[in-house]
Structure 1
Amino acid sequence: ATDMRRGKGTYRKVIEAMERMRKHRLLFGYSTCYHRYNTESVGSDEFVDDMIARGCRFAWNFTYMPVGKDARVDLLVTPEQRAYMYRRIREIRETKPIFAMDFWNDGEFSEGCIAGGRRYLHINAAGDVEPCAFIHYSNVNIHDVSLLDALRSPLFMAYRKRQPFNDNLLRPCPCLDNPEMLVAMVKESGAKSTDMEAPEDVEVLCSKTEETAKAWAEVADKLWAENPKSKRKVCGAAQ
């Protein structure tokens, strides 16, 4: 699955890098993008146990985002697959000697989206200050403004005005889970596309996730109703 998206031989190179880090007794983990065709594989005991045996001590799990030119919408996970990973990550944390994290499904612990300068931001190779590594829109460039001014930029302020984007913290993302939010923020702020390969209109980007967001909402709302944190509210958000 790694070679399918990253090119032939990539997985072998990653494993070789792990071997070198383990030889030098370095702390390391792995990051994986789970999509429609590999979710059950990267969530399996076989895969996780192999990563642990190779020396990994933490794991970042990212669900696929259809960002950029020629992004494949068919790689988006099904609601059932995302729910599987929601449960699976918690099971791994409870039963295996590795700290596994899910960038989306652990929204309950971060009180929703952390992007837009709330706890995190991204600066691309050209210096554009973006709210997130997956959200290529910006008003400012770090070569022209201070970091503080970047945090005060219209797009970042629009983010913080709306966060969390959903009372259901299992639906944290303004692109994948609440696409209407990202459209509104980009338009309100006048932010421009900073995609370095091919600029992408925000409505085009969010049209790719609309159906997935609706389908996930039905499943996520049921999961959230079962979560004790859904019964408490802090600062107006379900906690």
Structure 2
Amino acid sequence: MAKRLLLETDKRLLWKLFWNMGVRGLRSVQRHKKRLKQGDFFPPFLYISLINSCNLRCQGCWVDVAAKQQKIEPAAMHRMLNEAKEMGNSFFGILGGEPFMHPELLDVLAEHPDAYFQIFTNGHFITDEVAKRMRKLGNITPLISVEGTEIISDERRGKADVLSQTMQGLQYCLDNKVMTGVCTSLCKTNFEDLLTDEWVDRLIEMGVLYTWYHVYRPVGPDACPDLALTPEQQRKARQFVVDIRATKPIVVVDAYYDADGKALCPAATGFTHHISPWGDIEPCPIIQFAKESIHDERPLREVFNESEFLHDFRQTAAESTRGCIVLERPDLLLELAERHGAKDSTARGTIYEEVAALKSQSSQYHPGFEIPERSWAYRIAKRICFNDFGAYSRHFKFENWQDVVTDSEQRADQDGPDQLMQIKSH
């Protein structure tokens, strides 16, 4: 991987990545750890959905993409980014909708050369001119989503000719030597096509530097629960990621496991929270409840540090599971929102009903089936920068965890239930 970075990249962009995301990103995590010891809180990484609009209509999307366009205005973005940088933050995830539909996107990011931005995009609005601008700025990495073959992509994303337009945007980035990644929301319809050595080898051959396999979360007004992976498929995905990291020259990102393969939730651990296009501060992108906003008069550090709702969310989530509380215990999430009088932060105004209708299902937490990192580099990086920051040691008690595997999700491992009982007995 080091050879690829040295030979296939623009060295100025590589330096920006190393300094803004690497060195300064590490500092932000260390400051986060220090704050926690002092009883203070500010997440070292923020997801920012700066616009709700999108040209696609993906299955299971929770964003109000068809509603009246709402975007975070440049002045509010600058204020938020500057206040976060004052707290030591340097790395931000930019989401939508489709971020490139925000007319001031690149102009805003250009004003923050001391930060690094990962833009989650379908790639359809990336032209050669846009790619050249990103290369000139040097502080942006587009993460372009590919959801399957031509047929599956059209089915998953609600439009025709989706994949070819995505691949064209990807190629513009690669031609201009922009630090580029490809992500996939793994579900049952793309699992066999994209979780393969052949697909990863193709990405490497194209010049893609990193990939990220999300796991599909069936939430939103059209949740499509039939697309969700089974526990066996989730474990296969984890094993695949661990193996690829140790054997192929491409970076593989994940947000669900620590160095020892123990499951975690980045929102429950306090590693990240989410800002909606309306400025609402939510626990994570798929949890559309909020009590505070970036438009509050208080400084952002006070908003995060004093939020009883976010504090109670982190504690409730960490007490109930090492996985995803939305999938496993939507009842607890609903109780939390009702107890705090949290607002529905959607435009459609139906989030309470949607969460009430969710049925419990498994997430990334599979006790007894932990798959530790094989790569020494990932083990070290995760132990330093991506772990539970003590959240589960403080709050989680295994005997209180509810195994929510349904009949349709039965474990393939015949010794799984016995192994689980042995863990519970200890």
TM-score bracket, shorter-length normalisation: 0.7 to 0.9
Q: Which residue of structure 2 aligns with residue 147 of structure 1?
A: 300
Aligned CA distance change for structure 1 residues 198 and 75 (closer, same or farther; 3 Å): farther
**Which amino acid counterpart does residue 27 of structure 1 have in structure 2?**
M
Structure 2 distance, partners of 1:105, 1:206, is 28
**Which amino acid counterpart does residue 327 of structure 2 have in structure 1?**
L
**Which amino acid counterpart does residue 130 of structure 1 have in structure 2?**
E
| 1:30-85, Cα deviation, whole Å (9 max, x unpaired) | 11101121112211112111122221111111111122112211111111111110
Residue pair 2:268, 2:315 contacting (<8 A) in 1 also: no
| 1:61-118, Cα deviation, whole Å (9 max, x unpaired) | 1111122112211111111111110111101111111111233355867972221681
Q: How many residues of Structure 1 are paired with residues of Structure 2 in the alignment?
A: 226
Structure 1 distance, partners of 2:319, 2:203, is 34
Structure 2 distance, partners of 1:209, 1:102, is 25
Residue pair 2:256, 2:263 contacting (<8 A) in 1 also: no
Structure 2 distance, partners of 1:125, 1:52, is 34
Structure 1 distance, partners of 2:367, 2:190, is 25
Structure 2 distance, partners of 1:26, 1:91, is 26
Q: Which residue of structure 2 aligns with residue 56 of structure 1?
A: 208
Match runs of 1:86-235 below 5 Å: 86-105=238-257, 112-115=264-267, 118-145=270-297, 146-151=299-304, 152-162=306-316, 164-165=318-319, 171-201=322-352, 204-205=354-355, 207-210=357-360, 212-213=361-362, 220-224=366-370, 235=393
- Give the TM-score of the pair, scaled to structure 2: 0.48
Which blocks of at least 5 consecutive residues in structure 1 are unaligned? none
Structure 2 distance, partners of 1:86, 1:65, is 16
The structural deviation recorded for 1:186 is 1.9
Structure 2 distance, partners of 1:175, 1:61, is 19
| 1:171-216, Cα deviation, whole Å (9 max, x unpaired) | 42221234344234223322122123342116x4265340x228x7
Residue pair 1:18, 1:55 contacting (<8 A) in 2 also: no
Residue pair 1:165, 1:181 contacting (<8 A) in 2 also: no
Structure 2 distance, partners of 1:117, 1:165, is 11
Q: Identity rate of aligned residues, in percent?
A: 26
**Which amino acid counterpart does residue 303 of structure 2 have in structure 1?**
A
Structure 1 distance, partners of 2:262, 2:172, is 33
Q: Which residue of structure 2 aligns with residue 81 of structure 1?
A: 233
Residue pair 1:32, 1:62 contacting (<8 A) in 2 also: yes
Residue pair 2:269, 2:318 contacting (<8 A) in 1 also: no
Aligned counterpart in structure 2 of residue 29 of structure 1, from 150, 169, 181? 181
Aligned CA distance change for structure 1 residues 173 and 206 (closer, same or farther; 3 Å): farther
Runs of at least 4 residues of structure 1 off by over 6 A? none
**Which amino acid counterpart does residue 325 of structure 2 have in structure 1?**
P
Aligned CA distance change for structure 1 residues 71 and 99 (closer, same or farther; 3 Å): same
Structure 2 distance, partners of 1:153, 1:66, is 27
Aligned CA distance change for structure 1 residues 59 and 227 (closer, same or farther; 3 Å): closer
Helix, strand or coil for the counterpart of 1:126? coil
Helix, strand or coil for the counterpart of 1:25? coil
Structure 2 distance, partners of 1:52, 1:70, is 34
The structural deviation recorded for 1:163 is 5.4
Q: Highest CA radius of gyration, 1 or 2?
A: 2
